[in-house]
Amino acid sequence: MKKVTRRVPPLRTAVRSDARRIHDLIEQNRQAGHLLPRQLSELTSHIDRFVVGVDGRGSIVACGELAPLSQTLAEIRSLVVSEKRRGQGLGRRIVDELRLRAKAAGFDDLCVFAHRPAYFAHMGFSIVPHTWLPEKISADCRMCPLFRRCDQFAMVADLDGVSDVRPTAQLHV
């Protein structure tokens, strides 16, 4: 039996025409209970904050957003890898790219709210009380229907140790 090898999807900054496909990818995972809903209009207005992985056919197979919460804190939002592409390191590559972008933009810390904290703990994020992130609470949590009943873990990574040097991995901007 011949082994099929897949080309590693390059990463690039999302463009306006990607918004619908990003929304569809997020929605598939929301229905599975992994993400909170996002409005297409919101994604479109913040499209330049997204990094996407694109396969050889031009399909978006992964995405993640770097959302500023304050002058010192940014959040990784809507990190999604399509089911067919999971386990190939694509999510980690997007997190690494968003971490580099956060550092380059001058943020001190990067946070994420996760259902599965072990995934992010392996990348240097630590679980913290939600109250340690008042910027997130005031920006998003207060309006969430799950406020005070949230089953996500608040996690933070310090960006001081992040090198400004980009790895030689493919990134198309």
Phi-psi region of 162 (alpha: psi -120 to 50; beta: other; left: phi over 0): beta
Please state which of the ranges 35-49, 72-86, 114-128, 151-165 shows the lowest mean pLDDT.
151-165
SS3 content of the chain, % helix, strand, coil (to 5): 35, 25, 40
Question: With 50 as the cut, is the pLDDT of residue 12 above it?
Answer: yes
Q: Of 120 and 34, which is predicted with more confidence?
A: 120
> What pLDDT does 145 receive?
55
pLDDT at residue 13 is higher than 60:
yes
Which tokens go with 150?
């949230």
Q: What is the pLDDT of residue 50?
A: 95
